[in-house]
Amino acid sequence: MKLSLAAEEVATFYAKMLDHDYTRKGIFQNNFFNDWTKEMTPEERKKIKELGKCNFEEIHKYFGEKHEARKALPKEEKQKLKEEAERIQEKYGYCIIDGHREKIGNFKTEPPGLFRGRGDHPKMGMLKKRVMPEDIIINCSKDSAVPPPPPGHKWKEVRCDNTVTWLASWTENIQGCIKYMMLNPSSKLKGEKDWQKYEVARRLKGVVSKIRSQYRADLKSKEMKKRQRSVALYFIDKLALRAGNEKEEGETADTVGCCSLRVEHITLHPRLDGKENVVEFDFLGKDCIRYYNKVPVEKQVFKNLQLFMENKDPGEDLFDRLSTTTLNKHLQDLMDGLTAKVFRTYNASITLQEQLEALTNEDDNMAAKLLSYNRANRAVAILCNHQRATPKTFEKSMQNLQAKIDAKKDQLADAKAELKRAKADHKTKKDVKSKAAVEKKTKLVERTEEQLAKLNMQATDKEENKQIALGTSKLNYLDPRISVAWCKKFGVPIEKIFNKTQREKFAWAIAMADDDFEF
């Protein structure tokens, strides 16, 4: 049937995702169908009653063919498209701040589509509506020319607020979050902010022992409020849990952090798997990512948790005398600029530094050093619960890698056989030519062994990383100067650790850190 323009557009959003796991989830299907019917005409609603009876295959095929046609474009056409994108970037991708021309991070609004969310988000599948000029607030200086809106439209507001760094903002319709157009991470302002963040975390290193002594003493306090605060701080410090900000009314995702944990989110085991005083955590954290962990804790922490849970229903707050606000106020009194989030940055960075010291061997080859770095980074990602779904291409790429390993093993066997023959030949002839052949074959065996070792390390690294997201901690929680110093100390090119975007973002750290930098 022929759909109205609005209904057809929303149908294409679903059709494009047919080969994605999302479209097989009931909650995604229900939310999509609910929002799709709102875009239909009354006549369409009468005909289209069930999503299961709708066939999107033709639309899916159409966009698949368009995608393939784009990939098959001749080199000249691709170059034209690239030049057009660069022209748009040059026109809209820069701004002037304090007399400096700075690159803008995201100068395009998000296009309409279906909301995905992370984890099992309850709003996945809902329709992300098109952002219109009437939704957008422009922020520019009083003496600058206000960018004109598209013909026939006007901006929601134009303001001149020099206390913030965003250039435009709008409110998205799914969760009511404010979205911002910001400077590129490589900009001077962003770099200064990053540097300040890590300097605060470094200052924590000087007082963390004193703070730990205090919260351990408070574990036995006569005040219930202090006891709860000390246990929460213990979790934030030892497990790198997020503090957990109070959610806005109407927020449907049941996500929590440390301060908003409920009784139902933890189970206490006096003894489990040969360990004593084990706390079993099971809750949805930020972005609906499940946090599941079984951790042995100090005896007094365990006793306090038993006390906090007494006579409470599963849905009641574990820390009923505590909030993120009061916790951060207490931390501010302990150190200027200290919040629960600083603990996360501090513990992530100090873990990376300690792991790099423990795992790196100066005599290792490049592949082994990189494996050590990724293992150190992985320890941080596990600490911070940075998970990801196993990539769809994982099995295929592992098969390809295994095929390379098998081929390299065959090459090595052949090289060893050739070396053996060369040695036998030299034993008989004992001349210069046969000696040179032995040396040549020996080098070939050594080179092939190195290549095989490198491929095996790649396979190990890939397998260990399949459900761990290394990028999040690298971008947001790890002081980049630790990585830069490690690269300089062990002769590892910075390009092996940071990609182009990360190198631009952390240009300040690359210029600042020497090989003896310590967090």
CB atoms within 10 A of CB 479: 27
The two beta strands, 100-103 and 113-114, are unpaired
CA–chain centroid gap for 154, Å, is 36
Q: Which residues, 6 or more positions from 301, have their beta carbon under 8 angstroms from its beta carbon?
A: 219, 231, 234, 277, 279
The two beta strands, 157-159 and 137-139, are parallel
Per-residue buried b or exposed e for 201-229, using 16+ beta carbons within 10 Å of the residue's own CB: bbbbeeebeebeeebeebbeeeeeebbbb
Q: What is the C-alpha end-to-end distance of the chain, expressed in Å?
A: 64
Residue 468 pairs with which residues in a beta bridge?
Answer: 387
**Residue-by-residue DSSP string for 113-131:** EE---SSS-TTTT-EEPPP
What does each C-alpha distance from 356 to 206, 255, 349 come to in angstroms? 21, 33, 11
DSSP 8-state code for residue 109: P
CB atoms within 10 A of CB 362: 8
| Identity of the amino acid at 286 | K
198 is catalytic: no
Whole-angstrom distance, CA of residue 231 vs CA of residue 327: 11
Q: How many CA atoms lie within 13 A of 193 on its CB side?
A: 12
Residue tagged active-site, from 22, 234, 373, 477: 477
**Residue-by-residue DSSP string for 128-176:** EPPPPGGGPEEE--TTSPPPPPPTT---SEEE--TTS--SEEEE-TTT-
Whole-angstrom distance, CA of residue 277 vs CA of residue 300: 9
Whole-angstrom distance, CA of residue 123 vs CA of residue 30: 10
Scan for tokens 């200086």, then name that residue: 141
Whole-angstrom distance, CA of residue 76 vs CA of residue 26: 44
Residues carrying an active site annotation: 477
